[in-house]
Amino acid sequence: MILVESHLHRVIIFVCIVGFATFIHANSGNASVKKAVLEDIQTRYKVPGMSVLVASGGVTKPIIYPFSYYNGVRSNDTGGRVDANTYFPIASVSKVFASHLLMELVNSGKLSLNDPVKKWVPSAQFIKEVSVADVLSHQLIGRQSDTFFYDQRFNLITAIIERITQQKYEESIVKKLQAQFSSSEMIAYTASSTAQVRRAGQLASGHIYDGELQVIEHDFGVSASAGLIATPASLVNAGVKLMNLFVAQGDKAHVFDSANNNAMYSNGFFRHKLHDKDVLWSYGQYDGYASLWIIVPEEELQLVMLSNNNILSDASRLIFGDLTRSPLANWFTQHFICHKAECDLTRSNALADVHRKVYFSRYSKSAYTDAINGITALYPSKLSWERDGDLNLLHLSNYLFTVSHHLAYSPPHWSESEDALLLNDSHAVMLKNPYWLYYAGNVYDRRGDKVKANKAFTAILNIVDMPNHWTVNEAQVFLNKEK
């Protein structure tokens, strides 16, 4: 019996080794092609320095790194090449770890996801029915609506954790990183904790682009919403820990499932599909930084991208929760998820590139023209807002109308069925979304239709429990001007 088990064990090891060797071979032969695509993305998105790491295994198989890419500089001012040891602030990807910490408190019975947030934060400015789960899921007005809204109220999790643990959030999260994730390579973004990293010249500086790249500095600060810095490998290792919890303990609700099952986002992750694979992903966007973390649980596969410019997140409008607008996600899908199967990403790549063109349209008239041509090429039969309209398309239209207004370019000429954007009942859910209403109101305003613009901006102010958000401020400015 012992001999049989020993033989079987050797067979399993052999099969794993052969399987991984096949995986490595399949994904290393065209490494130069993959890197060339990333270099092109980095150039087109004006990214000074970028790290990309793909990892496989860690739960049922040994972890390997079939692909890595470290390119560019940590700072345009001081130089220094980006490498595997370069740290980047991960911004909202920090929410994954805040959520994990909160869920431990839930599992230990110290609070319930169904608790009204006002139970723990009495000063919270909304009705008592808004629950911890709703905030954790970025639900705008709780379970009255399934409207996803990426706003700053997630930071209420900071106050909840501090109230229950009776210690500063920064102390709690540092303990969590050390105990649960054994991470010496993921640290809080504070003056003291980053001192050694800074002295070693390993912290990437943030950059913004306004016609040219400029280095910017961030204030230190740690909260449930942001404040951790990491290397790509440290995020991969954390992902392995999370997947181990998922596989070994069957603790799906704790790690991957949504706190609100109707939500597209919870516990720091969006839920999505890439080429029929269920994926979890999280992104970060500071002024000066962008990050992307994708996990494919059934294949034990991860992508981590960290960069010192915000454009890869900002131009792709990942704030709307559509991963296919990211050129990095499409690159990952093409080379690591599709395998030998057919995978036509032509339209996804075109949509991602249109977002890029629109983002840069304010810097030159040729870029503005390219952006309009890019949109019309995607809808050659005539753009129909009833058929094609979504939040991404509305954002692009609003952006181009705004650019044309400020730079005195000829405005884009879309179909008049654009009116359906605000008036058609098929957009009932979106009509409760402040982004949708703001973009629609702004487009109507640029077209000179003050009545419909007024209706859209008024609707923003009428949303129950609407936080003090920039869309609210813009709506108030417009309505005050029209009085």
Tell me whether residue 44 is in a domain.
Answer: no
Helix, strand, coil content of the chain in percent (nearest 5) = 50, 15, 35
The pLDDT of residue 112 = 92
The pLDDT assigned to 303 comes to 98
Last residue of one domain, picked from the residues 337, 368, 402? 337
160 found inside a domain: yes
> Quick one: pLDDT band at residue 11, thresholds 50, 70, 90?
very low
In a shared domain, residues 326 and 360? no
Phi, psi dihedral angles at 468 (to 5 degrees) = -75, 90
From CA 303, how far away is CA 66, in angstroms rounded? 11
CA distance 240 to 56: 9
In a domain, 15, yes or no: no
**Would you tell me how many other CB atoms lie within 10 Å of the CB of residue 425?**
7
Domain carrying residue 377? 346-482
Answer yes or no: is 42 within a domain.
no
Q: For residue 68, which phi and psi values (nearest 5 degrees)?
A: -145, 150
What values do phi and psi take at 313, rounded to 5?
A: -90, -40
Contacts of 183 (CB under 8 A, 6+ apart): 177, 234, 237, 238
Residue 16, in any domain of the structure: no
Asked if residue 59 belongs to a domain, the reply is: yes
Residues 333 and 363 in one domain: no
Average pLDDT over residues 223-232: 92
Does residue 313 share a domain with residue 175? yes
The amino acid sitting at 118 is K
Which position has the higher pLDDT, 71 or 136? Answer: 71
pLDDT tens across 57-104, in order? 988 889 999 999 999 999 999 999 999 999 999 999 999 999 989 988
Identify the residue with better confidence: 396 or 152: 396
Domain check: are 284 and 414 in the same one? no
Is residue 118 classed exposed, middle or buried when 0-12, 13-18 and 19+ CB atoms within 10 A define those classes? middle
Mean pLDDT over 110-122 rounds to: 91
Q: What is the DSSP letter of 148?
A: B
Task: Report the CATH number that the domain containing residue 385 is assigned in CATH.
Answer: 1.25.40
Q: Between 312 and 128, whose confidence is greater?
A: 312
Asked if the model's pLDDT at residue 24 lies above 80, the reply is no
User: 385 and 323 in one domain?
Assistant: no
Do residue 298 and residue 358 come from a single domain? no
* 318 shares a domain with 374: no
Does 322 map to a domain? yes
Q: Which token pair is 120? A: 């723990």
Confidence bin at 4 (pLDDT 50/70/90): very low
**Mean pLDDT, the chain, as a whole number?**
82
pLDDT digits (tens, 9 = 90+) for 335-364: 999 876 678 899 999 999 999 999 999 999
Is residue 308 located within the same domain as residue 350? no
Residues 6+ apart with CB under 8 A from 220: 189, 190, 191, 194
Q: What is the pTM (predicted TM-score) of this model?
A: 0.88
Whether residue 183 sits in one domain with residue 332: yes
pLDDT at 199 (0 to 100)? 72
Q: Is the dihedral of CA 370, 372, 376, 378 positive or negative?
A: positive
Instruction: Give the Cα separation of 269 and 290 in Å (integer).
Output: 16
Q: Which residue has the higher pLDDT, 380 or 425?
A: 380
Give the 3-state secondary structure of 86-124: CEEECHHHHHHHHHHHHHHHHHCCCCCCCCEHHHHCCCC
- The residue-averaged pLDDT of 378-385 equals 70
The answer as to whether 1 is a domain residue is: no
pLDDT digits (tens, 9 = 90+) for 175-192: 888 777 765 677 888 777
Q: Given this model, what pLDDT does residue 226 score?
A: 92
Q: Are residues 140 and 289 in the same domain?
A: yes
What pLDDT is recorded for position 56? Answer: 95
In this structure, the answer to whether residues 243 and 98 fall within a common structural domain is yes
CA angle 9, 15, 20 (to 5 degrees): 125
Rounded CA separation 335/87 (Å): 26
Q: How far apart are CA 103 and CA 95, in angstroms?
A: 12
Are 70 and 51 in contact by the 8 Å Cβ rule? The answer is: yes
Domain count, the chain: 2
Q: Of 311, 337, 363, which residue is a domain's last?
A: 337
CA atoms within 13 A on the CB side of 468: 2
- Count the alpha carbons within 13 Å of 467 in the hemisphere toward its beta carbon: 19
Query: Which of 337, 362, 391 represents a domain boundary (last residue)?
Result: 337
Kindly state whether residues 205 and 231 are assigned to the same domain: yes
Judged against a pLDDT cut of 70, whether residue 421 lies above it is answered with no
**How large is the average pLDDT for residues 126-149?**
72
